[in-house]
Each structure stands twice: as C-alpha cells, then as structure tokens.
Structure 1
Amino acid sequence: MAKPNVISRQELLQSARDVIASHGIQALTLKAVATGAGVTQGTVYYHFRNKEQLLLELIKEMCQDSWKNLLDDAGQGEEILEKALASARSRCTHDSPYHRVYFSLIAAGIYQETLGKELASLQELENKALGMAVKRFAKNEELVDIPAERWATLFNAWIDGLALQALLSPSFDADQAYADLAQVIRYLVGRKGEEQT
C-alpha cells in the first residue's frame, strides 16, 4: 500500500539516488522514484514538476555537500589542494552517475532557459567555493597575477573537462590526468614564489 502524501523532498531525492545506484541513470523516471519511495507518481509531481527539476535538485545537493565538506574539513596549502583534487577525482570515472546527470542537464539547459539559469547559478556556487579553496591554498595571494576567483573558473573548467573525457573514453587515465593537474598547480605556485623573490 502506498504511503500517504506525507513524504519529504529529501526522501524522494534518496529514492532517486537509489534508482541511479541500482539501475543506472537511464532507469530514472518519476514513476521509478515513486515506486522506490512507496508513494504515487502524483506525490512525486507534487514535489517536482518534471524529471529535470528532480535531477537539478539532486545535483545541487551533491555539489553543495561536496564543497561544504571540502571547505569545512580541509586546512590550508597543500592539504586543501589534495582534498579538492581527490574529491573531484573520485567523481571522474567512465560510469560516474554524478557527471552523467550533470552533463545531461547541461545539454537540456542549452535549450531550456529556466534550467540554464539554474545551472548557471549552481556553477557560480561551485566557482565561489573553489575560489575560497584556491585562496586558502595560495594563502590569500594571487597565483601568477590572477585572482583566486578567476583561477576557480579555470580549475572548474579543467575538472569538468577531465570528467567529460572520462565519461566518453573508458581508457581515459584519470589518475594521470589528476596527477598532471596537481603538478601544473604546484608549478604555478612555485612561479608565484619566484616572482616575489
């Protein structure tokens, strides 16, 4: 018997995560979410207008949790760099449910203005959080005369680009790519030190 319409958005989002984890992103439908949560499909529509809104909420929650954990738990300097890269690397896989959802939403957002605006604000949130991490890594100084906020945009683009390559190519060596990215960052920090002497 279905539960009454007393169910939270969080419970529905958890049901969506369970569907993706068990059956993959292609199996995610509002009906599957309803079945997993033990409610009617109408209850899911009460909380989410459509599948895109559900996916967007799922991505927002994952991003916010990831960046909050990084900034709350990490220290300064190399420690925050290592944690940020490890966090991004953990989602950089050929079968990453996070990036499958994220890039699917980006494709839809190109044609749906409202969704595009929501994704742009999510991107701004990520850039802001990454900018804070860059400031902590660089000890509030610029890296090679570029402010942390602009580095955040560049790093975010690198991370998303690596994730896209991993999704498209099962043979993509994400470990090597992230080791190379860390080396580039360390080089830039070293250049900053050379310029100051």
Structure 2
Amino acid sequence: MKRDLLLDAAEQLLAEHGTTALTLAAVAARAGVSKGGLLYHFGTKEALVKALVQRLVEEFDQAVSDRAEQGDGSPGTYTRAYVETTFDIVTDRDPARARRRWAVVAAAATASDLAEPLRDATRRWHRHEDGVDVVAARIVRLAVDGLWEAMEYDPELFDAAECDELRRRLLHLLDAEPRGAGAG
C-alpha cells in the first residue's frame, strides 16, 4: 500500500536525519513518488506526523491484543500482555527499528496537537483495569514505559539476563495482594 510506503519513508528520514529533515519533498523523494502523490495521502507535514503516531499506537495495540488473546483470560491478562509486548520491543536488538520508533515520538513532540493520538492511547493504556490491583498494574505499566524510554537512549543498558529478571519481577508485582487486602 502506498500509504505505508510513505510512512516507512518518513520514519527512515526521521531516524537518520532528525525532525528537521522531515519535509514533504524529502519523504516523496525517499518513497519514490511525486510530491502530488504524497499530498494525495497527507495534505500537510502535520497530517503525516499524526499518521506516523497513529500507526505506532495501532501497531502497539495490536501486539498487546494478540498477546492478550494468547493468555488464559485470568485477571491481569491485559497488563501482562502490555509488559510482554513492551519487553519484545525493548529487547529488539535491531537498532534501525528502535531508532524509527523513537523518531516518531520525537517528531510528535514538536507540537502538542501532533502528539494527541499518543496522549489518548497513553491515557487508555494506563487507565485500563483488568481485574488486578489497579495501582500495582499502573506501577508496572509505568515502569515498562520508563524502561522503553531508557533503552531508546541506550539499547545496551541491560543485557538479556537483566531484561528477563526485570520482566519477571514486574510480572510478579501483579500477583501481589492489594495493599490492605485481607485486613478485617
């Protein structure tokens, strides 16, 4: 699909050269289409960036959903899927793919309205309740979000064994009783 080709070209430009290199002409050239062809799909640079962010959110949502469907449906299935999906992403040792993901977020940060799809998704992800202690689930999701950001800055921050231990410990937090539970 041409739209995905254009989005891929924009991600590559962002990852390789930063937000200042993201122009409609540069994206069209990278994708091998005319500027008019690009404008047919994205009338403005802002529309292009919003589409990049939306695609990032949709890909993450789909990955979490797929992972959750593989679960047993027990309490915490969504949060466990969120953790596992995030660890799949942060332990992906393809530096080009990691840079593209981060570049999309950086491009969205250039204007507050460009990040709206990401803000909406973040609100939805962190307000999701799935039958476990709400605060513990939020702590776990916030922790993996922080891990994602830290490893975007330094992909070699933690080795595979350290990542596995972090993942295991975070998932274990979902098994704990809510604070004050059982007190009577």
| Band of TM-score, shorter chain | 0.5 to 0.7
Do structure 1's residue 167 and structure 2's residue 163 form an aligned pair? no
Q: Pick from 91, 94, 104: which aligns with 1:101?
A: 104
Do structure 1's residue 31 and structure 2's residue 52 form an aligned pair? no
Mapped partners of 1:60, 1:194: distance in 2 = 40
Do structure 1's residue 16 and structure 2's residue 12 form an aligned pair? no
User: Equivalent residues in 2 for 1:38-187 (5 A)?
Assistant: 38-72=32-66, 73-75=69-71, 76-77=73-74, 83-92=81-90, 95=95, 96=98, 97-106=100-109, 108=110, 112-127=111-126, 131=128, 135=130, 140=131, 142-143=132-133, 146=134, 151-152=137-138, 154-173=139-158, 175=160, 176-177=162-163, 179-187=165-173
Aligned length: 170
Cα deviation, 1:126-182, whole Å, max 9, x if unaligned, reads: 335xx25xx1xxxx2x41xx368xx34x44432232122112224311642463243
Distance change >3 Å, CA 51–CA 21, structure 1 → 2 = same
User: Which structure 2 segments of 5+ residues have no match?
Assistant: none
CA contact (8 A) 1:34 1:41 kept: yes
Root-mean-square deviation (CA, aligned residues, Å) is 3.6
Mapped partners of 1:122, 1:81: distance in 2 = 14
Distance change >3 Å, CA 158–CA 62, structure 1 → 2 = same
Give the structure-2-normalised TM-score. Answer: 0.67
Q: Report the Cα offset of residue 31 of structure 1.
A: 2.6
Cα deviation, 1:94-153, whole Å, max 9, x if unaligned, reads: 8312123213423x1xxx34224443223224335xx25xx1xxxx2x41xx368xx34x
Distance change >3 Å, CA 113–CA 119, structure 1 → 2 = same
Q: Report the Cα offset of residue 188 of structure 1.
A: 4.3
Name the aligned partner's letter for residue 177 of structure 2. Answer: R
User: Which structure 1 segments of 5+ residues have no match?
Assistant: 1-9
Distance change >3 Å, CA 44–CA 169, structure 1 → 2 = same
Structure of higher RCO (CA pairs closer than 8 Å, 6+ residues apart)? 2
Name the aligned partner's letter for residue 25 of structure 2. Answer: K
Name the aligned partner's letter for residue 166 of structure 1. Answer: M
